[in-house]
Amino acid sequence: MGEIILTMKGIDKTFPGVHALDNVDFELCRGEVHALMGENGAGKSTLMKVLTGIYKKDKGTIIYDGKTVEFTNPREAQQAGIVIVHQELNMLGHLTVAQNIFIGREFMKGIRIDDERMNVEAARLFKRLNINIDPTEKMSNLTVGKQQMCEIAKAISHEAKIIVFDEPTAALTESEVNELFEIIRDLKKKDIGIIYITHRMDEIKLITDRVSVMRDGAYVGTLISKDSTKNDIVNMMVGRVIYEEPKTESKVAEDAPVVLKVEGLNAGKLVRDVSFELHKGEILGFSGLMGAGRTETAKAIIGADPKESGDIYVNGKKVEINTPEDAVKCGIGYLSEDRKRYGLMLQRNVAENSTITFLENFMKGIFIDNKKENNETEKYIESLAIKTPGIDQLIINLSGGNQQKVILTKWLVRNCDILIFDEPTRGIDVGAKSDIYKLMNELVKEGKSIIMISSELPEILRMSDRIIVMCEGRKSGELRIEEASQEKIMHLATLRN
């Protein structure tokens, strides 16, 4: 391991409602792969965004290559040799792969962009990383995995001194993961420092040298990967927070009535012939890689996306669901993975967000009965322990967890029996996370049934009674909780058929 190339000291960052980073320290050496771990919302990504100048830090110092630096935008960071492979893909769908890779630093021939050369360079780059992608292909035509690879290739092509990988493997199949690891080892040899953000314990041992853990926006500690155990890390990550024990067996009787039955559902290329049953009082886990078609399945079920074929039965009788309206009438509620975009009405307040699903219930004549509305909302704020200054608070000012609870509220207000939770704990802090888990368990006790889509295996194993694994739009397997394990799920998730 070479000498230290990067030191971050006492980094502090606050967003309205959340204290994202609380006096965080971090250091990185040349030729080191330094894993950064922590639950969602622990502040890993935020820290990296501060490093690369996407966010401006409130306090703290960054020493890079011996000099104190303060990047005001990603470009400066890039030029200094710090690049980040974002968890969310930053692709320009209308441009070709090569054009994406060299965006912002095109090869010029006079005033003309030299696309030919860019294609050649890109091809050479892919060859070096032995990835098989056509540089002249439109970015939007690639699979999520390939797009991810392009992102990585782009980062590497910057001739960087530090590369940040933010959950790079989330979308990759096993073979692609191995390719990636090859690349990373190769980079190590070149003395490049690598910060590797991940959730997958097994990867730590595989390629990282050290692992630093964050929790609730604070730095917890650093371990040497090879002489630390999984549990050490987990303990650091989870800390004092108590989770329910991982389920050992399902409490749902085999013969529990089927509330939702989907048969041969087809919708686009990400939902191919999906069939399953949801029992009363059951939490049905949907696992799989990013882009495996879980969300698409959910959207097809609630009629948000048009389905080509397939039958849906609610409580045994066949129903026609063509729009979310129909779905809600059948008592199916959907909590989207992307809160901001599909869940929240940012400019409106808590009460309005909570009652939107069931306004009919709050009418006095033609007018809205604000009193009733407020009481109802109050009640849920109470029971769900939503932290908000008041019901007339704009929802945009709440923290992720509380926003999620408000969204949950609107389905409880509507009193739906079937709830589809899409990544219910994405990007919310640990405390709120366990609250959500408790809620889910209470809900099923009340006899509601839940479909939980989640990319976090621990979450799946902790909550589900049954697990359905999807791969490339197909249901690649179904596991009873008793038999389920991370390995089995990963295997099914990357199963080709």
> Quick check: 347 binds another protein (CB under 8 A)?
yes
| Least spacing, CB of residue 416 vs another protein, in Å | 9
Q: Which of 188, 272, 279, 410 binds another protein (CB under 8 A)?
A: 410
Q: What angle do CA 466, 300, 424 make, to 5 degrees?
A: 50
Contact (Cβ atoms closer than 8 angstroms) between residue 396 and residue 311: no
Contact (Cβ atoms closer than 8 angstroms) between residue 67 and residue 146: no
Q: Return the C-alpha torsion angle 115, 119, 124, 126, nearest 10.
A: 130
> Quick check: 302 binds another protein (CB under 8 A)?
yes
> Quick check: 88 binds another protein (CB under 8 A)?
yes
Is 198 or 357 the residue whose CB approaches another protein more closely?
A: 357
Contact (Cβ atoms closer than 8 angstroms) between residue 393 and residue 349: yes
Is 41 or 477 the residue whose CB approaches another protein more closely?
A: 41
| Least spacing, CB of residue 425 vs another protein, in Å | 16
Phi and psi, residue 18, nearest 5°: -130, 140
Provide CB contacts within 8 A for 454, sequence distance 6+.
285, 286, 287, 421, 423, 424, 425, 460, 463
| Least spacing, CB of residue 98 vs another protein, in Å | 11
| Least spacing, CB of residue 31 vs another protein, in Å | 26
> Quick check: 334 binds another protein (CB under 8 A)?
yes
> Quick check: 50 binds another protein (CB under 8 A)?
no
Region binding another protein by CB under 8 A among candidate stretches 137-145, 178-186, 199-207, 380-388: 137-145
Contact (Cβ atoms closer than 8 angstroms) between residue 271 and residue 293: yes
Q: Which of 31, 239, 246, 268 binds another protein (CB under 8 A)?
A: 268
Binding to another protein (CB under 8 A): which residues in 196-255? none
> Quick check: 456 binds another protein (CB under 8 A)?
no
Is 67 or 341 the residue whose CB approaches another protein more closely?
A: 341
- Residue appearing with tokens 């945009």: 396
Q: Which of 131, 144, 218, 238 binds another protein (CB under 8 A)?
A: 144
Query: Applying CB under 8 A, what is the total number of residues that bind another protein?
Result: 70
**Cα–Cα separations (whole angstroms), residue 212 to 5, 26, 31, 223, 409:** 16, 8, 16, 6, 36
- Other CB atoms within a 10 A radius of the CB of residue 375 amount to 13
> Quick check: 397 binds another protein (CB under 8 A)?
yes
Give the C-alpha separation, 331 to 38, whole Å. Answer: 36
DSSP state of 356: G
Is 212 or 455 the residue whose CB approaches another protein more closely?
A: 455
Region binding another protein by CB under 8 A among candidate stretches 195-203, 350-358, 458-466, 486-494: 350-358
Provide CB contacts within 8 A for 227, sequence distance 6+.
none
Q: What single letter denotes the amino acid at residue 33? A: V
> Quick check: 72 binds another protein (CB under 8 A)?
no
Q: What contacts 24+ positions apart, CB below 8 Å, involve 261-264?
A: 261/311, 261/312, 261/313, 261/314, 261/316, 262/301, 262/310, 262/311, 262/312, 262/313, 263/310, 263/311, 263/312, 263/313, 264/309, 264/310, 264/311
> Quick check: 93 binds another protein (CB under 8 A)?
yes
Residues that bind another protein (CB under 8 A): 16, 54, 73-76, 78-79, 86, 88-95, 99, 103-104, 106, 108, 111-113, 115, 138, 140-141, 144, 147, 268-269, 291, 299, 302, 304-306, 323-325, 327-329, 334, 336, 338, 341-348, 352, 356-357, 359-360, 363, 366-368, 394, 396-397, 410, 414
